[in-house]
């Protein structure tokens, strides 16, 4: 650390001025043609000053002119930065030859925006392209969601990851990993180093903002990759990762060598201070010494600038600041919404109300995207990062419910999967809760299915959406450390991204109504037509009730109509019964959406319909788990023919299957009446016509504990 301290201000201010004066000259530097592909050789960059022509930069990445510091990202969300040596290296002696030994060392620093929360990480990479077509956030700028794990990626990377992504099975939020063609690490270890020969591991914080020394060595003889990190320039003798892998089939003959970094919802500035690389020589890459590397920008920088500008300016500045502060405080008092203790535990995802107000133009009507069950949704653009967002505004009369829900946001906000709509943050203002989500340009799926849609989806698109939603739901049920029950799976909660991939939204929201205001009632939440019959008896949602709703969803995607369609002829009123009748009669393809004009893959459609019926079984343990559903969808297992009606169980018990089925609708509708607005009006109407006096007494007992 001592080496990092800057000289006293007046001197450094002088240097700074010198650099400022020098700037025009560096502009005139001619871009040089990149040298021919290197075969064997060495790189040595103790800082990247005057190396702009040797390094190919992309994304945010830049080399600071003043001191030659390579910066890959700053504190802006969802950035990526690439810095690769401008010409590819020959990593194999011949196309079919074996990969050559190489050795590299570099010094990097990760300065997070919030002290303990990094975002997302940095990687040393061997890549076929100096600018991979990749995504930021958890993809680290190396891969995208469509090429994950593909053998044709020819990617080798060592990640220094500061966010724990459950999707990729990360071990923690401070680890080193070896990634081959995928961001699911082949081997990883918590960041640490062996201080001496005999002593144990010492933890190393990657996101401390201090320089971290790293070494990556590949030995072609023993086909081993070693990764070592240390807070100082002396290389520990024992690596933190030693992974046996023959890189020959993974690498191309010529590859680009360099770095990639990205930020996500949370951001860090990622810097590379120096880098050396050697290949084919057999020896270690040249050592880097901290004293010869550029210095990281520290808090002292402001000090320097202020002094360079001069004392007189600072006086003006102080005055301006003082006036600004007075205005700010006055405004703050006007908009005061004191933060309560429990909110402090939630973490950094809290947006300020002002920011969201600005982003949505003050929640103006023309920004309204829709008004759904849980509240209104507005479109917005965050001023700082220019990110498009959707803001959901929910009013909740019960402070208790709101409080418990907000405390769950920390969990929900950590769920990450490409088939879930990412929750970016939240804001509470009085009894309003504002949830900030990723913006989904194509809106919700129901608009493409029901009520004479303007555009409709072809079968392949529908099948892809079904698979996406299934894998999102499987992640909620099994991919996370705790089981997350969605409770409101339906077409209108499935949103479509720019590429028409299905993304499940609103997960966890239904929970808000569980912590309802009336303690004597356990509200059954969800939407009529998707509610599993057992919910009316137990009132408890579980993974199987999600599967039931998923079954209803499957049928509506194939048939292009809602689970209950009041306008339909009486026998077709309840979708699942209609499908079952047709299936029994061997005419099941009659139910397929006529908007498909008969163009569909018959075996896929049949499979989905059978699966839909299977999931709609009134007996929870007859429904498949989402993992089984995934197997059916992937064609690993064939969906069995069913010989019983989905409601058969109730008949056996002598309760009358169909009536019990309707009862469960009626009862859920009764509950909906009291919390008026959270199902669509159409559903509400239906239930009124379905509720018979006979079924109502059932209802009141069904819900009170
Ligand atoms: C950078 O490129 C120039 C011109 O091609 C070359 O002379 C120089 O050796 C290169 N430096 C490194 C470190 O590769
Ligand atoms: C990051 O860099 C961009 C572009 O140079 C700049 O507009 C933005 O203000 C920077 N963000 C932060 C937080 O420094
Ligand atoms: C390399 O391998 C490919 C396919 O395995 C083969 O067709 C080709 O002839 C080989 N080339 C050399 C130079 O051995
Ligand atoms: C994903 O990466 C592959 C290969 O790098 C590229 O061909 C493809 O276009 C990328 N897809 C997207 C959506 O960027
Ligand atoms: C892997 O990528 C290649 C080329 O980009 C593509 O043709 C192939 O379908 C991909 N394989 C998988 C399993 O995605
Ligand atoms: C690395 O992991 C990927 C998937 O995560 C796997 O396909 C590949 O076989 C693994 N490679 C090695 C050498 O273990
Ligand atoms: C990797 O580490 C192991 C264990 O310390 C060591 O035996 C081996 O020589 C190292 N290999 C390389 C290429 O550094």
Is 392 flagged in the annotation as binding?
A: yes
Q: For position 321, what pLDDT does the model report?
A: 80
Q: Is 283 touching ligand 7 by the criterion CB < 6 Å?
A: no
pLDDT, residue 702, reads 25
Give the residue from 366, 102, 113, 137 showing the smallest Cα distance to 255.
102
Ligand 4 — pocket residues by CB below 6 A?
A: 132-133, 144, 146-147
Q: Say which residues have a Cβ less than 8 Å from residue 638's Cβ, sequence separation at least 6.
A: 607, 632
Rounded distance from Cα 153 to ligand 4 centre (Å): 10
Q: How far apart are CA 97 and CA 679, in angstroms?
A: 64
Q: What's the pLDDT at 519? A: 32
Please state the rounded mean pLDDT for residues 448-468: 91
Residue 252 — very low, low, confident or very high, per pLDDT cuts 50/70/90?
Answer: very high
680 φ, ψ (degrees, to nearest 5): -65, 155
- State how far the Cα of 561 lies from the Cα of 259, in Å rounded to an integer: 50
Residue 272: which of 6, 31, 46 has the closest Cα? 46
For the entire predicted model, the pTM comes to 0.51
CB 235 within 8 A of CB 285: no
Which atom number of ligand 1 is nearest to the Cα of residue 43? 13
One of 3.20.20.70, 3.30.200.20, 3.40.1350.10, 3.30.365.10 is the CATH number of 341-438, namely 3.30.200.20
Average pLDDT, stretch 475-503?
87
pLDDT of 503 strictly over 80: yes
CA 176 to chain centre: 20
Nearest CA to ligand 6 atom 10: 186
693: left (phi over 0), alpha (psi -120 to 50) or beta: alpha
**Band of residue 337 on the pLDDT scale cut at 50, 70, 90:** low
Kindly report, residue by residue over 363-388, the tens digit of the pLDDT. 888 888 877 656 788 999 988 778 88
Q: Is the CB of 144 under 6 A from ligand 5?
A: no
Token pair for 194: 């062996």
Give the pLDDT of residue 393: 85
Mapping DSSP to helix (H, G, I), strand (E, B) and coil, where does residue 89 land?
strand
Paired strand residues for 425: 436
> Does residue 667 register a pLDDT over 50?
no
User: Is 145's C-beta closer than 6 angstroms to any atom of ligand 6?
Assistant: no
How high is the pLDDT of residue 298?
Answer: 73
Region 117-121: mean pLDDT is 83
Length of the chain in terms of residues written = 705
**What's the pLDDT band for 678 if we cut at 50, 70, 90?**
very low
Atom 6, ligand 3: which residue's CA is nearest? Answer: 96
Task: Name the burial class of residue 197, with classes exposed (0-12), middle (13-18) and buried (19+) by CB atoms within 10 angstroms of its CB.
Answer: exposed
| Alpha helix (H) residue ranges in 570-656 | 575-584, 602-615, 626-633, 648-652
Q: Which residues carry out catalysis?
A: 488
Q: Give every CB contact of residue 652 below 8 A, 6+ residues apart in sequence.
A: none
**Per-residue confidence (pLDDT) for residue 688, from 0 to 100:** 25
pLDDT per position as a tens digit, 555-600: 999 999 888 877 777 778 888 889 999 999 999 999 999 999 999 9
| The pLDDT of residue 147 is above 50 | yes
- pLDDT digit string (tens) for 610-624? 999 999 998 888 999
Q: Percent of the chain, pLDDT > 70?
A: 73
Cα 180 to ligand 6 centre (Å) = 6
Q: Which two tokens stand for residue 338?
A: 């004191």
Q: Which residues pair with 83 in a beta bridge?
A: 57, 259
* Centroid of ligand 5 to alpha carbon of 152 (angstroms): 7
Q: How many CA atoms lie within 13 A of 24 on its CB side?
A: 1
**Closest to 171 (Cα-Cα) out of 192, 151, 197:** 192
Exposure string for 86-114, b = 16+ CB within 10 A, e = fewer: bbbbbbbeeeeebbbbbbbbbbbbbbbbe
pLDDT in tens, 24-79: 333 333 333 334 445 458 899 999 998 889 999 999 999 999 999 999 999 888 89
DSSP, residue by residue, 252-264 = -SEEEEEEEEE--
Q: 74: Cβ below 6 Å to ligand 2?
A: yes
Residue 441 CA to ligand 2 center (angstroms) comes to 25
> Is the C-beta atom of 242 inside 6 A of ligand 7?
yes
For residues 677-702, average pLDDT: 27
Cβ atoms of 682 and 566 closer than 8 Å:
yes
Mean pLDDT value across residues 196-219: 90
Q: Is 29 touching ligand 1 by the criterion CB < 6 Å?
A: no
Could you give the angle at the alpha carbon of 513 between the alpha carbons of 431 and 671, nearest 5°? 120
Is pLDDT larger for residue 346 or for residue 328? 328
Using pLDDT thresholds of 50, 70 and 90, give the confidence band for residue 8. very low
Q: pLDDT tens digits, residue range 518-547?
A: 333 344 455 667 777 776 666 677 889 899
DSSP secondary structure code for residue 286 in this structure:
P
Could you give the CA distance from residue 575 to residue 557 in angstroms, rounded to a whole number? 11
State the closest ligand 7 atom to the C-alpha of 237, by its place in the atom list counted from 1: 5
191 CB contacts (<8 Å, ≥6 apart)?
A: 160, 174, 175, 176, 203, 204, 205, 206, 229, 240
- The pLDDT tens digits for 434-445 are 888 889 999 889
Q: Report whether pLDDT(636) > 70.
A: yes
Comparing 320 with 361, the larger pLDDT belongs to 361
pLDDT, one tens digit per residue, over 219-242 is 999 999 999 999 999 999 999 999
The CATH number fitting domain 446-689, selected from 1.10.510.10, 3.30.505.50, 1.10.3720.10, 3.40.50.1000: 1.10.510.10
Question: Mean per-residue pLDDT for 8-18?
Answer: 37
Pairwise pLDDT comparison (316 vs 177), residue with the higher score: 177
Report the residue among 178, 198, 223, 224 best suited for mutation to probe ligand 7: largest number of ligand atoms under 8 A from its CB. 224
Question: Residue ranges of the domains in the chain?
Answer: 37-286, 341-438, 446-689
Give 111's strand partners: 269
Long-range pairs for 332-335 at CB < 8 Å and ≥24 separation? none
Tell me the three state secondary structure of residue 243. Answer: strand
Q: What is the mean pLDDT of the chain?
A: 77
The β-bridge relationship of strands 89-90 and 38-39 is parallel
674 within ligand 5 shell (Cβ under 6 A):
no
Are residues 218 and 101 in contact, defined by beta-carbon separation less than 8 angstroms? Answer: yes
10 Å Cβ neighbour count for 461? 16
Q: Give the whole-angstrom CA distance, residue 47 versus residue 68.
A: 5
Distance 163 CA to ligand 7 centre (A): 28
* Degrees, nearest 5: CA angle 588-684-363: 110
CA distances (Å), origin 577, targets 308, 415, 529, 657:
79, 35, 12, 11
Q: Which residue has the higher pLDDT, 531 or 294?
A: 294
Q: What is the crossing angle of helices 626-633 and 543-559, to 10°? A: 30
The pLDDT of residue 21 is above 70: no
Helix (H, G, I), strand (E, B) or coil at 704: strand
Ligand at shortest distance from the CA of 152: 5
DSSP 309-338: H-HHHHHHHHHHHHHHHHHHHHHHHHT--P
> Is the pLDDT at 665 greater than 60, yes or no?
no
CATH topology of domain 37-286: Jelly Rolls (2.60.120)
Strands 55-59 and 80-85: what pairing? antiparallel
Ligand nearest to the CA of 149: 6
Structure tokens at 552: 């209803």
Q: How confident is the model at residue 150 (pLDDT cuts 50, 70, 90)?
A: very high
């Amino acid at each position: 650390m001592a080496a990092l301290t800057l000289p006293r201000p007046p001197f450094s201010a002088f240097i700074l001025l010198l650099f400022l004066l020098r700037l025009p000259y560096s502009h005139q530097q001619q871009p040089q043609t990149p040298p021919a592909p290197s075969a064997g050789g060495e790189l040595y960059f103790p800082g990247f000053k005057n190396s702009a022509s040797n390094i190919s930069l992309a994304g945010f990445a830049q080399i600071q002119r003043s001191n030659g510091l390579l910066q890959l990202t700053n504190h802006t969300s969802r950035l990526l930065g690439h810095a690769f040596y401008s010409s590819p290296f020959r990593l194999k002696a011949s196309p079919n030859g074996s990969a050559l030994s190489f050795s590299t060392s570099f010094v990097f620093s990760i300065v997070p925006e919030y002290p303990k929360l990094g975002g997302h990480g940095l990687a040393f990479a061997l890549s076929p392209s100096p600018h991979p077509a990749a995504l930021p956030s958890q993809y680290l700028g190396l891969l995208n969601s469509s090429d994950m794990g593909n053998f044709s990626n020819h990617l080798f990377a060592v990640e220094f990851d500061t966010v724990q992504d459950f999707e990729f099975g990360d071990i923690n939020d401070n680890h080193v990993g070896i990634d081959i063609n995928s961001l699911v690490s082949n081997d990883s270890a918590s960041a640490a180093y062996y201080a001496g020969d005999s002593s144990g591991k010492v933890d190393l914080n990657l996101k401390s903002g201090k320089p971290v020394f790293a070494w990556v060595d590949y030995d072609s003889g023993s086909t081993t990759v070693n990764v070592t990190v240390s807070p100082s320039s002396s290389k520990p003798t024992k690596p933190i990762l030693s992974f046996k892998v023959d890189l020959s089939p993974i690498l191309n003959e010529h590859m680009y060598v360099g770095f990639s970094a990205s930020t996500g919802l949370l951001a860090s500035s990622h810097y590379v201070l120096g880098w050396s690389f050697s290949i084919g020589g057999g020896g270690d890459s040249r050592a880097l010494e901290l004293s010869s590397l550029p210095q990281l920008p520290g808090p002292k920088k402001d000090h320097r600038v202020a002094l360079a500008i001069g004392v007189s300016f600072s006086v003006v500045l102080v005055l301006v600041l003082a006036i600004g502060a007075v205005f700010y405080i006055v405004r703050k008092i006007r908009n005061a919404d004191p933060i309560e203790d429990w909110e402090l535990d939630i973490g950094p995802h809290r947006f300020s109300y002002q920011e969201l107000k600005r982003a949505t133009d003050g929640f103006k009507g023309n920004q309204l995207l829709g008004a759904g069950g849980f509240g209104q949704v507005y479109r917005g653009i965050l001023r700082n990062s220019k990110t498009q967002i959707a803001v959901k505004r929910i009013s909740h009369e019960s402070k208790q419910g709101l409080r418990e829900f907000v405390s769950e946001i920390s969990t929900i906000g950590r769920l990450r999967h490409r088939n879930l709509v990412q929750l970016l943050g939240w804001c509470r203002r009085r009894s309003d809760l504002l949830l900030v989500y990723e913006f989904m340009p194509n809106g919700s799926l129901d608009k493409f299915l029901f009520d004479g849609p303007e555009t409709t989806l072809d079968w392949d698109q529908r099948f892809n959406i079904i698979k996406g939603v299934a894998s999102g739901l499987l992640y909620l049920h099994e991919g996370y450390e705790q089981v997350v029950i969605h409770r409101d799976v339906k077409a209108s909660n499935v949103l479509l991204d720019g590429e028409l991939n299905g993304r499940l939204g609103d997960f966890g929201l239904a929970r808000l109504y569980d912590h309802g205001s009336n303690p004597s009632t356990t509200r059954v939440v969800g939407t009529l037509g998707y509610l599993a019959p057992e919910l009316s008896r137990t009132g408890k949602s579980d993974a199987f009730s999600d599967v039931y709703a998923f079954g209803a969803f499957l049928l509506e995607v194939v048939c292009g109509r809602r689970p209950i369609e009041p306008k339909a002829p009486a026998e077709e009123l309840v979708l699942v019964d209609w499908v079952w009748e047709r299936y029994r009669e061997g005419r099941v393809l009659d139910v397929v959406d006529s908007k498909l004009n008969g163009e569909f893959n018959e075996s896929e459609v049949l499979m989905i319909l059978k699966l839909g019926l299977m999931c709609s079984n009134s007996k929870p343990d007859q429904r498949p788990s989402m993992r089984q559903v995934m197997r059916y969808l992937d064609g690993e297992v064939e969906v069995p023919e069913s010989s019983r009606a989905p409601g058969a169980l109730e008949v056996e018990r002598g309760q009358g299957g169909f009536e019990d089925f309707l009862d469960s609708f009626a009862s859920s509708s009764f509950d909906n009446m009291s919390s008026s607005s959270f199902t669509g009006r159409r559903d509400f109407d239906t239930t009124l016509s379905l509720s018979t006096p006979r079924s109502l007494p059932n209802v009141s007992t069904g819900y009170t504990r």
